[in-house]
Structure 1
Amino acid sequence: MAQETPSSPPLLLGCDFSSSPSRRKPILHALGQWQGGQVQLLGFERFETLDAWAAWLAQPGDWVGGFDLPFGLPRELVHTLGWPLDWAACMAHYRSLSRDAIRAQFAAFCDARPAGGKFAHRATDAPAGSSPSMKWVNPPVAFMLHAGVPRLLDAGVHLPVLHTGDPRRVALEAYPGLLAREVLGRRSYKADDRARQTPDRLIARKDLVNALELGQTRLGLRLRLRHAQRDALVDDPMGDTLDAVLCLLQAAWAAGQHAQGDIRYGLPAEVDPLEGWIVTA
Structure 2
Amino acid sequence: MSSLEVIGVDFSSRPSRRKPVVVAQGRATGATVKLEALLTFETLEGFGALLKHPGPWVGGFDFPFGLPRELVEHLGWPTEWLKLMRHYAALERAQIRDTFAAFCNARPVGRKFAHRECDAPAGSSTSMKWVNPPVAYMLHAGVPLLLEAGVHLPGLLEGDRARVALEAYPGLLAWELIGRRSYKNDDAAKHTPERLIARKDIVAALEQGRTRLNLRLKLTPAQHDALIADASGDRLDAVLCLLQAAWAGGREDWGLPAGFDPVEGWIVSAPRAG
TM over 0.5: same fold? yes
Q: What per-residue deviation string (whole Å, max 9, x for no partner) do you get for residues 127-146 of structure 1?
A: 00000000000000000000
Letter in 2 for 1:271: F
Q: Counterpart of 2:14?
A: 20
Supply the AA of the counterpart residue of 1:280.
Answer: S
Q: What residue number does 1:272 align with?
A: 261
**CA drift at 1:273:** 1.1
Which residue, 197, 211, 222 being the options, matches 1:217? 211
CA distance in 2, matches of 1:159, 1:19: 20
1:199-278 residue pairs with structure 2 within 5 A? 199-257=193-251, 262=252, 264-278=253-267
One-letter amino acid matched to 2:267: I
The answer for unaligned runs of 5 or more in structure 1 is 1-6
Question: What displacement does 1:36 show?
Answer: 5.5
TM-score by structure 2 length? 0.97
Contact persistence 2:61–2:168 (CA under 8 A): yes
Normalising by structure 1, we get a TM-score of 0.94
Partner of 1:191: 185
> 2:133 maps to which residue?
139
Counterpart of 1:44 (choices 38, 45, 52) is 38
Could you tell me how far 1:85 is from its partner in structure 2? 0.7
Secondary structure class of the residue paired with 1:10: strand
Deviation digits for residues 21-72 of structure 1 (CA, Å, limit 9, x no counterpart): 0011110110110245300010111110011111121232321000000000
For the residue of structure 1 that corresponds to 2:268, the secondary structure is coil
The SS at the match of 1:46 is: strand
Q: CA–CA distance in 2 between the matches of 1:154 and 1:218?
A: 34
Match of 1:174 in 2: 168
Matched AA of 1:156: G
**Alpha-carbon shift at residue 17 of structure 1 (Å):** 0.2
d(CA) in 1 for partners of 2:130, 2:181: 24
Distance 1:36 1:112 in 2: 51
Supply the distance in 1 between the matched residues of 2:105 and 2:3 (Cα, whole angstroms).
48
For residues 158-169 of structure 1, what are the structure 2 equivalents within 5 Å? 158-169=152-163
Q: Can you give the 5+ residue segments of structure 2 that lack an aligned partner in the other structure?
A: none
Q: Which amino acid aligns with 1:277?
A: W
Residue in structure 1 matching 2:91, options 86, 97, 101:
97
Tell me the alpha carbon deviations over residues 170-190 of structure 1, each in whole angstroms, 9 at most, x when there is no partner: 000000000000011011111
Give per-residue Cα distances to partners, 1:216-236, cap 9 Å, x unaligned.
111011101111110111111
- Match of 2:258, as an amino acid? A
Aligned residues: 270
Of residues 70, 73, 78, the one that matches 2:72 is: 78
Distance 2:248 2:38 in 1: 20
